[in-house]
Amino acid sequence: MALAQVLAAIDKNLDRSLERLFALMRIESVSTDPAFAKNCRAAAEWLAKELATLGLDAGVRDTKGHPMVVAHGKAVAPAPHVLFYGHYDVQPADPLPLWQTPAFEPQLREVGGRKVIVGRGSADDKGQLMTFVEAVRAFVEAEGKLPLPVTILLEGEEETGSPSLAPFLEANKNELKADVALVCDTDMWNDTMPAITTMLRGLMLEEVIIKAADRDLHSGLFGGAAINPIRVLGRIIASVHDDDGRIAVPGFYDGADELDPEIKAQWTALDFSESKFLGEIGLSKPAGEKGRHVLEQIWSRPTCDVNGIIGGYTGTGSKTVIPAQASAKFSFRLVGKQNPEAIRASFRDFVRKQLPPDCEAEFLAHGGSPALQLPLTSPYLKKAREALAAEWGTPAVLKGSGGSIPIVGNFKRDLGMDSLLIGFGVDDDRIHSPNEKYNLTSFHKGARSWARILDALRS
Amino acid sequence: MALAQVLAAIDKNLDRSLERLFALMRIESVSTDPAFAKNCRAAAEWLAKELATLGLDAGVRDTKGHPMVVAHGKAVAPAPHVLFYGHYDVQPADPLPLWQTPAFEPQLREVGGRKVIVGRGSADDKGQLMTFVEAVRAFVEAEGKLPLPVTILLEGEEETGSPSLAPFLEANKNELKADVALVCDTDMWNDTMPAITTMLRGLMLEEVIIKAADRDLHSGLFGGAAINPIRVLGRIIASVHDDDGRIAVPGFYDGADELDPEIKAQWTALDFSESKFLGEIGLSKPAGEKGRHVLEQIWSRPTCDVNGIIGGYTGTGSKTVIPAQASAKFSFRLVGKQNPEAIRASFRDFVRKQLPPDCEAEFLAHGGSPALQLPLTSPYLKKAREALAAEWGTPAVLKGSGGSIPIVGNFKRDLGMDSLLIGFGVDDDRIHSPNEKYNLTSFHKGARSWARILDALRS
């Protein structure tokens, strides 16, 4: 009955938990603006002090930018060691006039029948990180000890691209290494259905420059005889996808496994409106691989997009030029075991084979990283799913993320750890925007969820 | 034997002709630089005075820019009325250090076994326009009168796009209208083979903007579901040409007649090196319609080129964006009776038919003009060919010009006149560059050529 007591402690202490969160939210820890550097440090110090009250060995650690908070707590009984990650920095509050209540004066309000915590950082990420801290506090209160070995790492530069994070992990590898990372910076499926993000697409970035004549040519004097690199590039772009939206680069799908049938069934059954999803950006039809569900298209299928193209005259009006070169930036989203560098090599061959006489291609590699996927067989995932289902009364959606979440790559590459990405944000939290909010349910049941997860992990 | 006397007068006066040309070349009539405005006016006044010595009613006429020179001369006997066009302005002499002799100190030098007139404007266009003036002078000297009614129009803004020319023609339509225009601003086939430019390709300019989502999208979050307008544009560009280099826009070839077999035979027999022509710009293979001679490709076949393209992120590095739009500037070179506006409409349909769901195309018309072609049956052309053949001992090449020569369109549209484009420049004249030269043969036999042409036209 230990867990029941922990959950009861969370319920009983909700008001005081909110007071603590509000205290943290009042600190204007805007990381991008040097004028708020002191506030960032103040937030780090507030957190270190807070974590010390839980019996953790907590400290503020300097970096070249804003400091890290690192806290360690040993458990009495042996259990998996978890590393929890969150970030205490927030986006700027601008534009201020659009806030209905001041950005850094957090409030509990009732909006549309829901109680919500309003203020900058409520959802991204102070409210989320405090769900974990409050769960740990409840264990300490109910049981007098930590449920398992915990390291907490809180950074203050997430909103500015985490420049200090990788060097910090590298420099403190042995100290920070744990069995599994817990990251609380993602969303639920909706207000009532929890989610774990288990698939992150990888990325391969490649720029192609097609060169033809040794100078720009007059299209009257040479048009019809001289090869036009924009035309060559257009044909290459057109050839990347076949008519079914599949990518024609040889070997591209090697390692891009089909989705597990269980997950596929879950996604298909979700309350997901394709027309709403696309309608919000002014579109109506999914444009990817034919016969695939939109969620599959964006979460578990690899893609190719051209992110930019330029060549010739691009000012106002016209200029009758055949340019000497034209270039395009390609990005490939990768899944499963697709190998970024093998695909880069194959894509280069694919481009070279299409070059007509007198054209050459120059390539610029702009980086690449493989997809990250938490296996369905992971015991940590299994326990987290059970814990979330128990708390929310419905199975957690195992989501994908089309974009990258760099911290997960860092943890995998640098510390050899898988990450459980579990967060309680919802779509309408307005993160980065005025009137950011976090559902009180997310905060309260979020803390209860972590309590259940930690309890499951230690057993 | 009247013509023989005229030619003898040209031969006899060659030294004095050169002195006159040198006097004109010493005037630094650089049109693009306001600091030389006085010099431009001085050149106009020098020419008006020169033409007056031939008995022409000559004057300097103001425009918003540099002045025009207009001279009229009535003939005693009835004959076709010709309008001669040339320009007295020149390109700047920069970079000065590269000149072996000062740009505005004309000299007769022997270079590589040829006597050449060296100096800015020698070939473009002072030397050329003076071939006509010297021919007229020879008639006056040998016969005491003009061979036929002559109007001479010399402008001072050709090197800056002739901004005053169209308004001047419009305002003086009745005064300037003649039976045929003679333009001396083009090249021979080579040092010894004369040419008449009888085909000028037309042009249709159209910009296409493909729009998809209502904002730029994150290619991770939406890639695979959202349509990418660069991909759509790439497919459109790829579809414009078929694998044989023909343009696939329906109806595009309507009015694009095959070349007259006589001309085709002439071109095929010419001493033309495809590899030299392309080699000079770093290419080796003609990239246009398969099975066509390069001269056909650039002179008498219609084309499509993309002159510019832009979309998405074009800075350094990468950005994972699916842009909301992408655009390309297309230009179509036209021949024969191809109708620019009919092709514009067909191209727009062609683009619209390829738009996938959620994409729309916006079009910007950047102008158009039909091709200009002097019919082989033109009596003026016939006489000019005979005259040139007699002077040079070899038939004149009937050339095309891939680019436009705006004055010819103005004469056709505004004054209803065909133009005979006959010039004596050669490839290595270095017009617009340091050490511009004009072959003495071009100058001397050019004047003799005009004498023969005028004699033929009056008969």
Q: What's the pLDDT at B290?
A: 95
Q: Residue A227 is part of a domain; what is its CATH number?
A: 3.30.70.360
End of a domain among A369, A387, A417?
A: A369
Q: DSSP character for B240?
A: H
In a domain, B307, yes or no: yes
> Residue A111's domain is classified under what CATH number?
3.40.630.10
**A281: its two tokens:** 């950006």
Mean pLDDT of the A420-436 span: 95
How far apart (Å, rounded) are the C-alpha atoms in residues A132 and A118?
Answer: 19
Least confidently predicted of B269-278, B396-405, B412-421, B438-447:
B396-405
Are B362 and B387 within one domain? Answer: no
Contacts of B50 (CB under 8 A, 6+ apart): B20, B24, B133
Q: Which two tokens stand for residue B18?
A: 């050169």
Q: What distance in Å separates the CA atoms of residue B238 and residue B175, rounded to the nearest whole number?
A: 50
Q: What is the pLDDT of residues A287-346, one digit of tens each?
A: 999 999 999 999 999 999 999 999 999 999 989 999 999 999 999 999 999 999 999 999
Residues B147 and B221 grouped into a single domain: no
Q: Which residue has the tokens 């027309």?
A: A275
The candidate with the shortest Cα–Cα distance to B311, out of B326, B324, B322, is B326
Please give the model's pTM, rounded to 2 decimal places: 0.89
Indicate the residue among A369, A399, A419 that finishes a domain: A369
For CA atoms B380, B383, B389, B391, give the dihedral sign: negative
Pair A235, A356 in one domain: yes
Q: In terms of domains, do B165 and B135 share one?
A: yes
DSSP string, B307-349: EEEEEE--SSS---EE-SEEEEEEEEEE-TT--HHHHHHHHHH
Residues of A in contact with B340 (CB under 8 A): none
Question: Do residues B119 and B218 share a domain?
Answer: no
What pLDDT was estimated at residue B249? 98
Domains contained in chain B, number:
2
Shared domain for A361 and A392, answered yes or no, is no
Q: Are residues B337 and B393 in the same domain?
A: no
Residues of chain B in contact with residue A363, where contact means CB-CB under 8 angstroms, are none
Please indicate, yes or no, if residue B279 is contained in any of the structural domains: no
- Test B212 with A283 for CB contact under 8 angstroms: yes
- Nearest 10 degrees: CA dihedral of A104, A105, A110, A116? 40
At residue B403, the pLDDT reads 79
A349-404 pLDDT, tens digit per residue, is: 999 999 999 999 999 999 889 999 999 999 999 999 999 999 999 999 999 988 77
Residue B281 is assigned to a structural domain of this protein? no
Pick the residue of B307, B321, B344 with the most A CBs within 10 A to test the interface with A by mutation. B307
Q: Same structural domain for residues A134 and A180?
A: yes
End position of a domain, from candidates A334, A369, A404: A369
Q: Which of A203, A237, A277 sits opposite B230 (nearest CB)?
A: A237
The whole-angstrom distance between A303's CA and the closest CA on chain B is 6
Residues A123 and A207 in one domain: no
Band of residue B112 on the pLDDT scale cut at 50, 70, 90: confident
Round the average pLDDT of chain A to a whole number and report it. 96
The answer to whether the Cβ–Cβ distance between A358 and B284 falls below 8 Å is yes
pLDDT band at A76 (very low <50, low <70, confident <90, very high): confident
Record the tokens describing residue B202, joined without a space: 């037309």
* Same domain? B124 vs B73: yes
- Alpha carbon B6 to chain centroid distance? 30
Phi, psi of B68 (to 5 degrees): -95, 155
Looking at the structure, tell me whether residues B193 and B338 fall in a common domain.
no
Instruction: Give the structural domain span for B351.
Output: 208-256+302-368
Residue A20: inside a domain, yes or no? yes
Contact: A403, B221; criterion CB under 8 Å: yes
Average pLDDT, chain B: 96
Task: Tell me the CA distances in angstroms from B197 to A385, B117, B255, B325, B376, one per residue in order.
Answer: 81, 24, 20, 42, 12
In a domain, residue A279? The reply is: no
Give the span between the Cα atoms of A204 and A333, in whole angstroms.
Answer: 7
- Mutation site, B197, B210, B219, B272, interface A, largest A CB count within 10 A: B219
Question: What DSSP assignment string belongs to B338-381?
Answer: --HHHHHHHHHHHHHHTPPTT-EEEEEEEEEE--EE--TT-HHH
Interface test with B, best of A236, A305, A334, A372 (most B CBs within 10 A): A305
Q: Which amino acid is at A356?
A: P
* Residue B274 domain flag: no
Residues B173 and B36 in one domain: yes
Whether residue B285 is contained in a domain is answered as no
* Chain A CB contacts of B307 below 8 Å: 219, 230, 312-313, 318-323
Chain B CB contacts of A247 under 8 Å are none
A77 falls in which pLDDT band (50, 70, 90)? confident
Is the pLDDT at A1 greater than 80? The verdict is: no
Cβ neighbours of B328 in A, within 8 Å: 230
The answer to whether residue A290 is domain-embedded is no
Model confidence at B77: pLDDT above 90: no
